[in-house]
Amino acid sequence: MNYPSKLVEEAVNEIAKLPSIGKKTALRLVLHLLKQEEAFTKSLTQALTKLRTETNYCTDCHNISDTAICNICANKLRDHSVVCVVEDTRDVIAVENTHQYNGLYHVLGGVISPIEGISPSELNIESLVQRISQHPEIKEVILAISATMEGDTTAFYITKKLQTFNVKVTTLARGVPVGSELEYTDEVTLGRSILSRVKYEQ
Amino acid sequence: MNYPSKLVEEAVNEIAKLPSIGKKTALRLVLHLLKQEEAFTKSLTQALTKLRTETNYCTDCHNISDTAICNICANKLRDHSVVCVVEDTRDVIAVENTHQYNGLYHVLGGVISPIEGISPSELNIESLVQRISQHPEIKEVILAISATMEGDTTAFYITKKLQTFNVKVTTLARGVPVGSELEYTDEVTLGRSILSRVKYEQ
């Protein structure tokens, strides 16, 4: 593409490096920025710069945090006997939004994936094992990991690692999603939900 | 949504102000930036800052430009007797990419739209009239404006304004798009393409 200006071209190229943003979308965003006040771009770039330079990861749970220990780990009112193991920060936000969980988290930073070359040593699994060994008050580890092959492998690996400790390892219930129709539920999910059926409660 | 960090929240809010980017996408982009090297964010923010502070608009054609007069207007090899009137920079890029046009441009900055409150005075129409009056070498004005109601209104308005000058006003050929099937072409387009049929050339 022939861009009318070198500056536009550079900005388009930088924006198009972001995931799922192509050059056409990038150009649209660039033209939008040019139409807005200068303050608009300024507050955007400042927020991004501050984000990248000042954000920390909690030393306990590896979640993104403004402080050395994140708000959740530092909160005395939360249940420090349960740790929910998740892939990334988005999953922490998703679980928090359910308002059904009051324990702590442990962010792995991904799942074991031989195809993408992610080995267990690149994830925060060793630090989870250490955390369990140093904190005997932890009684339960909930594995809230995606129900994919990579997720299942990761869950299996973690379960093996935690065998020697006196913690209960649980996983999310698999079953028919709330609001979905039986007809459109896949066989594996339906099969599992029959096997792990629960008492009907009114 | 509960964000784990104020910095993340601010960055998400800023990114979500961009068109067609919601909070979920913004969060995905933020987490992507946090996973990359600091240099990645730095070059992105620098490109955006330079874009917004250093980009000019060509004083002749109002296209985005790094200099006072854009590359196209300054190019002596281009045909200075034809001016192609377009809505915005994206249309300049689209026409340039056809490699079928070697004249100049005039960027309106939008189309007349009573619904969105855009009146002719907010567009670069007056400057087009001035340009035509000051440059008698301009013999033809091509209206390359969208075939929408707003676009047609704008084209009609400009044609009226240019009546007193000795310029030929032309518009893009309307017809069946190349590569599309007759069956799926709408009636108006098909009707127009029959009325403005051309001699078959081998």
Instruction: Read off the pLDDT of residues A5-59 as tens digits, 9 standing for 90 and up.
Output: 899 999 999 999 999 999 999 999 999 999 899 999 999 999 999 999 988 899 9
Any A CB within 8 A of B168 CB: no
> Confidence band (pLDDT; 50, 70, 90) for B52?
very high
| Closest residue by Cα to residue A112 from A61, A160, A148 | A148
CATH code, domain carrying A44: 1.10.8.420
CA B21 from centroid of its chain's CA atoms: 21
Domain membership of residue A177 (yes or no) is no
Residues A93 and A167 in one domain: yes
8 Å CB contact of A49 and B45 = yes
At B198 the pLDDT is: 79
Any CB–CB contact under 8 A between B28 and chain A? yes
Q: Are residues A90 and A145 part of one domain?
A: yes
Question: Do A80 and A139 belong together in one domain?
Answer: yes
Amino acid at A42: K
Residues in chain B with CB shorter than 8 Å from the CB of A97 are: 1-2
**CATH number for the domain that contains residue B73:** 3.40.1360.10
Residues B105 and B161 placed together within one structural domain of the fold: yes
What are the pLDDT tens digits along chain A (202 aa)? 678 889 999 999 999 999 999 999 999 999 999 989 999 999 999 999 999 998 889 999 999 998 899 999 999 999 999 999 999 998 998 898 888 899 999 999 999 999 989 999 999 999 999 999 999 999 999 999 988 899 999 999 999 999 999 999 999 888 888 887 888 888 888 888 888 887 877 6
Parent domain of B26: 6-54
**Residue finishing a domain among A29, A54, A79:** A54
A167: in domain: yes
Same domain for A92 and A38:
no
Alpha helices of A55-197 — where are they, by DSSP H? 71-74, 89-98, 126-134, 149-162, 187-195
Check pLDDT > 90 for residue B188.
Answer: no
Statement to judge: residues B22 and B121 lie in one domain: no
Domain match, B64 and B46 both: no
> Is the separation of the CB atoms in A88 and A109 below 8 Å?
yes
Interface touch A55/B7, C-beta < 8 Å: yes
Same domain, B49 and B121: no
Whether residue A143 is contained in a domain is answered as: yes
Domain annotation covers residue B35: yes
In a shared domain, residues B63 and B144: yes
Q: Is A6 on the interface with B (CB under 8 A)?
A: yes
Interface probe, candidates B51, B57, B86, chain A, greatest A C-beta count within 10 A: B51
Mind listing the pLDDT tens digit for each residue in B26-48? Answer: 999 999 999 899 999 999 999 99
The predicted-structure confidence for B5-24, as pLDDT tens digits, reads as follows 899 999 999 999 999 999 99
Main-chain dihedrals φ then ψ at residue A94, nearest 5 degrees: -65, -45
Helix (H, G, I), strand (E, B) or coil at B92: helix
Q: Which residues of B touch A10 (CB under 8 A)?
A: 47, 50-51
Strand partners, B106: B85
Q: How far, in Å, CA of A110 to CA of A118, rounded?
A: 8
Query: Which of B12, B125, B19 minimizes the C-alpha distance to A93?
Result: B12
Q: Give the closest residue to B167 by CA, choosing from B141, B190, B148, B130.
A: B141
Q: Give domain status of residue A40, yes or no.
A: yes
Indicate yes or no: CB of A18 within 8 angstroms of CB of B41: no
Instruction: Looking at the complex, report in whole angstroms how far the Cα of residue A190 sits from the nearest Cα belonging to chain B.
Output: 29
Q: What is the C-alpha to C-alpha distance for residues A54 and A48, in angstroms, rounded to an integer?
A: 10
Considering only CB atoms, which chain A residues are within 8 Å of B44?
14-15, 17-18, 48
The answer to whether residue B190 is domain-embedded is no
Task: Over range B158-176, report the average pLDDT.
Answer: 90
* Encoded tokens for A200: 């009907």
Q: Are residues B123 and B44 in the same domain?
A: no
In a domain, A137, yes or no: yes
Same domain? For A66 and A155 the reply is yes
Asked if residue A189 is part of any domain, the answer here is no
Distance CA A187, CA B184 (A): 39
Residues A162-173: b if buried by 16+ CB within 10 A, e if exposed: beeeebebebee
What's the count of helices (H) and strands (E) in chain B, helices before strands? Answer: 8, 6
Total domain count for chain A? 2
- pLDDT recorded at residue B194: 82
Are B72 and B37 part of one and the same domain? no
